[in-house]
Chains A and B, each alone.
Chain A
Amino acid sequence: MKRLLIALFCILSLPVFAQEHGSAAAEGAKTEEFRPGDMILHHIGDSHEWHWFSTDNDHFTTYLPVIAFRPGKGVSVFSSRNLAEGKVYDGLKLEHEKLEAEDGGKVYDFSITKNVASLMLSAAILLLVFTAVARGYAKRGTGAPRGIQSFFEPLIVFIRDEVAKKSIGPKYERYMPYLLTVFFFIWFNNLLGLLPGAANLTGNIAVTLTMAVITLLVTLFSSNKNYWHHIFATPGVPKALLPIMIPVEVIGIFVKPFSLMVRLFANITAGHIVILSFISLIFIFKSVAVSPVSIAFGLFINMLELLVAILQAYIFTLLTAMYIGGAVEEHHDADYQMGGGDGADNAHAAH
């Protein structure tokens, strides 16, 4: 246990050294002056190349492919090395990580950016892990799980019993694949984002937007007539008030996924910003004496982020399940559905 903790300590303080020393050196070489805001935004943002770290003499960067489509000119594919440090290639240049045409024309950027590459990597990891888990079930059936399967079984059962069954009710089975995918996708990507030099995928609002939109679509397509009845003719509301109540309810449909999107994005991005800010203190004060304090705090927040990683995945999954549950519930379950447990089960059994 002790050895494990020490190993964890080493791994977790690694990003602190690897990222910050590197970026500070890179920053210093360019502008002389250390600007923490720019450094932090650079770290949490997307980019066309994958910058691992820099030493005083060299940058260690993986250049990713740029795929640009321009109406009239067609598709151009080339390495982002050609655009490094503000160079112009094929009439294209990078303006603050935004791909622009020299002549001011329209450019559609389909590049494999750092986040896209990270997404592909995590998809590959998820596929590898869960095909292994699925193989375990195919081979051993309902027998005792082994290896990686035994690590994931409690989590899968937790999502099924505590999240899906309690929130959705008897029709939970259809939504299990989506809920499990969302949970493990967010969790894995949150953890990957904490690794040194990794991309901040779940802290990218486009990624969380996509997941929120999928949740919205799943909710809308699985909704029954009770759901719409509650929105357009809320029971117990006088007819005269309906012109006010309908917009209020309609706002509710869109605000739910919107809050999912913002929460995940804000939590993950805020965590990264806090860690980077603590580390920046060293370079702001230009003193080694600050480093024990800022690394200790950075490490503390990093440990906290390990918890936040799974907590946010759980919250996203749970709220998705609740929104779906609200859309598929039968009329009589209205009083029971959120609390779940015995009352809900009896209610489902009775009707």
Chain B
Amino acid sequence: MPTPTPAPRKPTEADSSSDRLRSFARYSGIGIQMLATIGLSTWAGYWLDGHFQTKTPWFTVALMLLGLFAALYNVIRSVTKDQ
């Protein structure tokens, strides 16, 4: 038989569920941010290659790698910050 929840426990439960929602929002944000970093920088490199008519797509390569690095760096920084 389920017993009614004791009154003092309620706030902690509410807190943990809102914290869970909060972490969900935060980490999904980090994921999309990672995707956006790589995507945006690759697109910028691609555009620059088209603009300067380069024979070898150096801009794409360089900016893609920079984007990858930036994405990883930002992910690592934002998950270690609050620990």
Q: Which residues of A does B touch, CB under 8 Å?
A: 158, 162, 166, 244, 247-248, 251-252, 254-256, 258-259, 262-263, 314-315, 318-319, 322, 334-339, 341
A317 to B, closest residue via Cβ: B25
**Chain B residues, CB < 8 A from A335:** 81-82
Contacts of B18 in A (CB 8 A): 158, 162
| Cβ–Cβ < 8 Å partners of B21 in chain A | 314
Give chain B interface residues in 1-50, CB to chain A under 8 Å: 15, 18, 21-22, 25-26, 28-29, 32-33, 35-37, 40-41
Number of interface residues of B (CB under 8 A): 24
- For B69, list chain A residues within 8 Å (CB): 244, 248
What CA separation (Å) do A338 and B79 show in the bound complex?
Answer: 10
Contact of B74 among A252, A263, A338 (CB under 8 A): A252
Contact A255 B25 (CB under 8 A): no
Interface residue SS majority, chain A? helix
Q: Which residue of A lies closest to B67 (CB)?
A: A251
B66, CB-defined interface residue at 8 Å: yes
Query: A338, B26: Cβ atoms under 8 Å?
Result: yes
- With known contacts A162-B18, A258-B36, A262-B36, A318–B70 Cβ distance under 8 A: no
CA distance A247 to B45 in the complex (A): 14
User: Which residue of the partner chain B has the closest CB to A334?
Assistant: B81
Given A252-B37, A319-B25, 19 more contacts at CB 8 Å? Answer: A158-B18, A166-B22, A247-B66, A248-B70, A251-B40, A251-B41, A252-B70, A254-B40, A255-B74, A256-B33, A259-B35, A262-B32, A263-B29, A319-B26, A319-B29, A322-B29, A338-B26, A338-B81, A338-B82
In the complex, residue of chain A having the shortest beta-carbon distance to the beta carbon of B44: A251
A315 near B29 with CB under 8 A, answer yes
Whether A259 pairs with B29 at a CB distance below 8 angstroms is yes
Given the complex, which residues of A lie within 8 Å of B35, measured CB to CB? 259
B73 on the interface (CB 8 Å rule)? Answer: yes
Some 11 contacts from A to B, beta carbons below 8 A apart, are A248-B66, A248-B69, A248-B70, A251-B41, A255-B70, A255-B74, A258-B40, A259-B29, A263-B29, A315-B29, A338-B81
* List of A residues within 8 angstroms of B25 by Cβ: 314-315, 318-319
| CB closest chain-B residue, reference A162 | B18
Question: Given A248-B73, A318-B25, A319-B29 in contact, is the A255-B66 Cβ separation under 8 Å?
Answer: no
Please determine whether A259 and B22 come into contact, CB atoms closer than 8 angstroms.
no
* 8 cross-chain pairs, A with B, having the tightest CB-CB distances, nearest first: A338-B82, A248-B70, A259-B36, A259-B32, A315-B25, A259-B33, A339-B82, A255-B37
Q: Which of B25, B66, B81 has most chain A Cβ within 10 Å?
A: B25
Interface string of B41-83 (1 = CB under 8 A from A): 1000000000000000000000000110110011000100110
Determine the distance from Cα of A263 to Cα of B34 in the docked complex, in whole angstroms.
Answer: 12
- In angstroms, how far is the closest chain B Cβ from the Cβ of A255? 5
* Complex-state Cα separation, A335 to B82, whole angstroms: 6
Tell me whether A255 and B28 are in contact (CB under 8 A): no
Chain B minimum-CB-distance residue to A339: B82
Closest to A234 in B: B77
